[in-house]
Amino acid sequence: MNSSTFDFSTPDLGPESNKLKDKFYPPSEDTYLLLDSLEKDSFIIHKLNPLISLEVGCGSGIITTFLARMLGPNCIYFATDINHYACLATKYTTEYNKCSVQIVNTDLVSNTKLHKFVDLLVFNPPYVVTSEVEVGGCGIEASWAGGADGRVVTNRLLSQIPNLLSPTGVFYLLLIKQNKPEEVREYLEGFDIKGELVMERRAANEHLFVYRYQRNKCVY
């Protein structure tokens, strides 16, 4: 497939989502790096022919909308967020862009029942290093408060990755330098899941990375 036929434009949130913009994490530098990484890997993603896509921590819904427009209706799209307003924003954003997405207001992947069915998994986690007491909320703070090493929430999802990914599934994860990306890579390698850096970028005082993880037996 010619990549020129893909829709790589940045989705508009639409008026209804914008009304809630102080209640969910808005598109920011990390969001745009993730979008650029998915665009860069578009040929790989299309070649894998994903049937089920899951975005954990969907925020504004812009990432899932981007994927739905890029991949089209042959994939089923799921999005989760612990923040009720983020789920509403995702609903409004996807509807504004005429995309069909199943949205679940839940903690990470609870209640999704997607055991080894996920072909495309995307997570822009709460990665900021904070005190432990700041972690675990259900409001906008859930989008950034990461606890020790900024990894408390990320680690909870990492432990579930082997049971979420399909045999050919791919997992895109955004991290910052303080999250100790090498530790994440080594942890997933213990489950025979390899990681590769897709893109990196400096934004203000943060060094952002996007990694692609796949089972070692997976080829594209």
The answer to whether position 59 is within a domain reads: yes
Query: What is the total count of domains within the chain?
Result: 1
Q: Which two structure tokens, joined as six digits, stand for 98?
A: 């005429």
35-86 tens-digit pLDDT:
999 999 999 999 999 999 999 999 999 999 999 999 999 999 999 999 999 9
The reply to whether 16 falls in a domain is no
- For residue 139, give the CATH number of its domain: 3.40.50.150
Is residue 109 in some structural domain? yes
Q: Is residue 127 included in any domain, yes or no?
A: yes
Q: How many CA atoms lie within 13 A of 81 on its CB side?
A: 29
Residue type present at position 218: C
Token code pair at residue 149: 């090493």
Question: Is residue 1 in some structural domain?
Answer: no
Task: Classify residue 204: in a domain, yes or no.
Answer: yes
Range of the domain at 59: 21-215
Q: How many residues does the chain have?
A: 220
Does residue 12 fall inside a structural domain? no
Residue 64 within a domain: yes
In this prediction the pTM is 0.95
In degrees and rounded to multiples of 5, residue 36 shows phi and psi of -65, -35
Closest to 69 (Cα-Cα) out of 108, 44, 39, 91: 39
- In tens digits, what is the pLDDT along the chain, a chain of 220 residues? 444 466 788 999 999 999 999 999 999 999 999 999 999 999 999 999 999 999 999 999 999 999 999 999 999 999 999 999 999 999 999 999 999 999 999 999 999 999 999 999 999 999 999 999 999 999 999 999 999 999 999 999 999 999 999 999 999 999 999 999 999 999 999 999 999 999 999 988 899 999 999 997 655 5
